[in-house]
């Protein structure tokens, strides 16, 4: 990988949806030297503009979200246990017995009121145990409205695979950073690298960013669920089979011109790829697609096992293929495709 240390660092920064400040500050310090323009907007998006060199060039917006899924404390019981609600989509079963960390460093373990088998997917059946002996001690450490996210290391598995929390979507942020570094500054297109907020709460940040940029093309750079291991999803997505080119999900149908260009660029440049179709979930492509008078949208997706958990698994080669595709897409002349 180009800079695996950066990817690891990004995954370990605390940044639950709506509270992405530390992630944004880290990224800003890295990307500022490469920006022609850079700004933060009112909702917390970080937008980096790299100017193009052609009057017929198009505005391309890449969006990767900085937020990670987590939980918010909604009540502190007198026995010291914390009642929680979702910040993003969590499965009760995958959260059960796992460690979480609050922004102030307080660590907790997720438990369940009753057997986890009977909880269904009701997050209200879960609690966080921070070890407090009673509510008074717990309230000294945590307040109602405080958030926690999964806690865990960045690990290497066999076959060149990576396991970590927060790969959704810190790997997308990593891809944007590396592509920005490799942008020579004389591409035909204006490129906007957008590190957006609150995707896990409804693709909010990308909508605000797209309203400011008014792009010709919007590309969500994110993960997508794998189908190559036993789980409750079906499809063709396989870890290690190349970068996913979004065709469709419940929130968006990708623009045929965009997907066609991506497939051609992968074929011409020897970039391994796979067509990505899912029937659950969505990405920032949905918000960009419906901004203003409408935006041609697509997606660059890293296939991921165990998504929305503390132990997501991806291929480093798929991540790098995504950067290669971004670079080729940024340099493509769209004058014959978009008038």
Q: How confident is the model at residue 54 (pLDDT cuts 50, 70, 90)?
A: confident
Is the pLDDT at 248 greater than 90, yes or no?
yes
Q: Which of 70-74, 192-196, 305-309, 335-339 has the lowest mean pLDDT?
A: 335-339
Share of the chain above pLDDT 70, in %: 100
DSSP, residue by residue, 24-93: HHHHHHHHGGG-SEEEE-TT--EEEEE--S-TT--EEEEEEE--B-EEEEEEE-TTS-EEEEEES---HH
Q: What is the mean pLDDT of residues 85-93?
A: 93
Q: How confident is the model at residue 96 (pLDDT cuts 50, 70, 90)?
A: very high
Domains of the chain: 4-68+165-330 (3.40.630.10), 70-150 (2.40.30.40)
d(CA 266, CA 322): 10
Is the pLDDT at 166 greater than 80, yes or no?
yes
pLDDT of residue 336: 84
pLDDT of residue 70: 97
Quick: pLDDT tens for 56-78: 889 999 999 999 999 999 999 99
Is the pLDDT at 337 greater than 90, yes or no?
no
Residue 77 · residue 206 · CB < 8 Å: no
Per residue in 235-264, is it b (16+ CB within 10 Å) or e — as a string? bebbbbbbbbbbbebebbebbeebbebbee
pLDDT of residue 338: 82
Is the pLDDT at 314 greater than 90, yes or no?
yes
Q: What is the pTM of this model?
A: 0.96
pLDDT of residue 47: 98
Going by C-alpha positions, the residue among 225, 222, 219 that lies closest to residue 237 is: 225
pLDDT of residue 335: 87
Going by C-alpha positions, the residue among 273, 220, 271 that lies closest to residue 249 is: 220
Is the pLDDT at 339 greater than 80, yes or no?
no
Q: Which residue has the tokens 């990593």?
A: 174
pLDDT of residue 56: 83
The tokens describing 128, both together, are: 């966080």
Catalytic residue among 25, 98, 182, 199: 199
Residue 254 · residue 285 · CB < 8 Å: yes
Quick: pLDDT tens for 1-31: 999 999 999 999 999 999 999 999 999 999 9
Q: What is the mean pLDDT of residues 196-201?
A: 95
pLDDT of residue 276: 97
d(CA 251, CA 216): 19
CA dist list (Å): 304 to 82, 142, 189, 195, 225: 30, 32, 30, 20, 5
Is the pLDDT at 120 greater than 90, yes or no?
no
178 is catalytic: no
Is the pLDDT at 115 greater than 80, yes or no?
yes
HSE-CB at 247 with a 13 A cutoff on CA atoms is: 11
d(CA 296, CA 308): 27
- Kindly give, in sequence order, each residue whose CB lies less than 8 Å from that of residue 173, ignoring residues fewer than 6 positions away: 10, 23, 27, 64, 65, 66, 195
């Amino acid at each position: 990988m180009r800079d695996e240390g950066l990817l690891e660092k990004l995954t370990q920064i605390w940044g639950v949806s709506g509270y992405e400040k530390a992630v944004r500050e880290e990224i800003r310090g890295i990307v500022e030297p490469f920006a022609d323009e850079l700004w933060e907007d009112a909702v917390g998006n970080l937008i980096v503009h790299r100017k193009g060199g052609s009057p017929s060039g198009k505005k391309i917006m890449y969006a990767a979200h900085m937020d990670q899924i987590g939980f918010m404390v909604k009540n502190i019981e007198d026995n010291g246990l914390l009642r929680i609600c979702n910040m993003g989509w969590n499965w009760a079963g995958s959260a059960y017995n796992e460690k979480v960390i609050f922004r102030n460093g307080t660590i907790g373990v997720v438990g369940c009121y009753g057997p986890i088998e009977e909880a269904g997917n009701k997050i209200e059946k879960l609690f966080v145990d921070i070890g407090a002996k009673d509510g008074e001690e717990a309230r000294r450490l945590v307040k109602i409205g405080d958030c926690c996210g999964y806690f865990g290391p960045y690990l290497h598995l066999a076959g060149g695979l990576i396991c970590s929390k927060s790969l959704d979507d810190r790997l997308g942020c990593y891809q944007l950073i590396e592509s920005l570094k490799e942008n020579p500054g004389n591409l035909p297109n204006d490129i906007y690298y957008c590190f957006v907020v609150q995707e896990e709460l409804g693709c909010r940040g990308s909508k605000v960013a797209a309203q400011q940029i008014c792009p010709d093309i919007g590309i969500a750079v994110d993960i997508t669920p794998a189908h190559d291991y036993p789980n409750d999803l079906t499809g063709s997505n396989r870890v290690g089979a190349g970068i996913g080119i979004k065709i469709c999900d419940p929130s968006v149908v990708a623009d045929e011109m965009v997907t066609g260009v991506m497939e051609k660029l992968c074929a011409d440049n020897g970039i391994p790829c796979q067509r990505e179709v899912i029937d659950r979930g969505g990405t920032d492509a949905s918000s960009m697609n419906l901004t203003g008078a409408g935006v041609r949208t697509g997606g660059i997706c890293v296939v991921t096992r165990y998504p929305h958990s503390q132990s997501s698994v991806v291929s480093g080669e798929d991540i790098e293929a995504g950067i290669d595709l971004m670079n080729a897409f940024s340099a493509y002349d769209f004058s014959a495709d978009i008038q």
